[in-house]
Amino acid sequence: MISQLPRLLFLFLFIAINSIHAQDTNYFSLSAGTNIIDNSNGKIVPWDAKRVEFSNPFYLELDYRFGNHISVALLGTANVFNIARSNPSGTGLERKEYDFFGVDISGKYYIDPLLFDNPNIDLYAGLGLGFHDVANDNAFTANLSLGFNYWFQNNFGIAVQAMAKKGIGEEVPGVNNYYQYNIGVSYRFLNASKAKKQARLAEKVSPETEEEKEEAIVEVIVDDTETPATTNGNNPNANNAPDSTTDRLLDANNVTVEKTEANQLAAFQEELNALGVVYFDRNSSYYYKSEKLKLDTIIQFLLAHPNIQITINSYTDPTGTEKYNNWLSERRLQRVKTYMTTNGVAPERLESFSKGVDPANTCNADHTNCTEAEHQQQRRVEFIVSEI
């Protein structure tokens, strides 16, 4: 069975990678901190103070998460082991400290989306392979890990991890099976490059040039062809009367501007409707890749039209309790807003409302008669142009 572990682990990674529904969770993260190693020497009971190694401990882990549930991590560990080895004369054993170095690669499966919906907490279980070297001996291990990250800011977090390692193949005497505990700080590299790219796109697309504005003003004057009433060839309103030509031109200009803004508002809303709403899976604030592409397109649209302000409304289907639906609606709203602002949309341009269950939906009176397709239409975030 031990000899089959590497094949089983690689098969697990292959299946996991090919079952991904990629979402907005794609990012690299880097963790660094300290570690404690419980050198169990083949015993299955963890944490014996006599076996704990904690000298010059350091670990560094690079993790790439490419879906709601999957990531691959590369971990490097340094520590010092106090173990017995043959003395130089070969007549016996002597105990001394030896430098320990380990490298591990793991596939992690994130279970937090299955248990709760909190974007600040990542909870995972992992399987992997390891290699360690100590006292000029080296060996491979099969690893099982449990851990979590808590993101107290958008980019910064705390990482905690526990690993059980089983020696396979050539085993290092005295360093066979052991437990490793890591605690450190994490930094995740979100898609800053994408935000810069979208900002460059916004610079290239100007919603309205100065020439277009001047043409609109000239158009108002040209269209005002009405000749003011005269008496004996003189204008009776020459002394700044309320219906003078200047005032009427200004009034016409204001009306035209209002009509232009109304037309723009309708046109922008039509474009926004064409981009679509973002739909969510049942009981989740995560959205699949197709919905993320919609959201990316909406972000590009907003960056290309910096004078637009929008309202974001979030909804759920009616299958849960009122308290749960309101909470889930808020989580969906915050996830969308965070993604938009992270990618360059100014927060002051976004007005948002968590609506819970949509009262306009005809299924709400008796949701047991709703089809799944009807429920899916309710699990959404929609966008409305509120001001230009």
Tokens at residue 64, please?
């790439």
DSSP 17-30: HHT----TT-EEEE
Tokens at residue 326, please?
């309101």
Tell me the Cα Rg of the chain.
Answer: 32
Share of the chain above pLDDT 90, in %: 22
pLDDT at 57: 95
pLDDT tens, position by position, 286-322: 776 778 888 888 898 889 888 888 899 999 888 778 8
pLDDT at 87: 78
66 CB contacts (<8 Å, ≥6 apart)? 20, 22, 25, 26, 72
Instruction: Kindly state the helix (H) or strand (E) to which residue 386 belongs, with its residue range.
Output: strand 380-387
Model pTM? Answer: 0.53
pLDDT at 282: 77
Query: Which residue would you say has higher pLDDT here, 321 or 262?
Result: 321
350 CB contacts (<8 Å, ≥6 apart)? 309, 310, 312, 337, 340, 341
pLDDT at 144: 95
Average pLDDT, the chain: 75
pLDDT tens, position by position, 110-126: 988 778 767 788 999 99
Distances (CA, A) of 50 to 38, 40, 134: 9, 10, 19
CATH number of 2-190: 2.40.160.20
pLDDT at 202: 44
pLDDT tens, position by position, 346-387: 999 888 898 888 877 766 555 556 777 788 888 889 988 877
Using an 8 Å Cβ cutoff, are 75 and 84 in contact? no
Q: Is the pLDDT of residue 152 over 70?
A: yes
Using an 8 Å Cβ cutoff, are 181 and 155 in contact? no
pLDDT tens, position by position, 332-345: 898 899 889 988 99
**CA-CA distance, 141 to 51, in Å (whole number)?**
19
pLDDT at 218: 42
Query: Per-residue pLDDT averaged across 130-154, rounded?
Result: 89
Domain boundaries, the chain: 2-190, 196-225+237-387
pLDDT at 182: 97
pLDDT at 324: 84
CATH fold of 196-225+237-387: 60s Ribosomal Protein L30; Chain: A; (3.30.1330)
Query: Which residue would you say has higher pLDDT here, 45 or 274?
Result: 274
Using an 8 Å Cβ cutoff, are 320 and 378 in contact? no
In 225-306 the beta strands, taken as DSSP E runs, fall at 278-279
pLDDT at 162: 95
182 CB contacts (<8 Å, ≥6 apart)? 31, 33, 34, 35, 59, 61, 75, 77, 147, 159, 160, 161, 162, 163
Q: Is the pLDDT of residue 104 over 90?
A: yes
Q: Which of 20-24, 75-79, 170-174, 259-263 bottoms out in mean pLDDT, i.e. has the lowest? A: 20-24
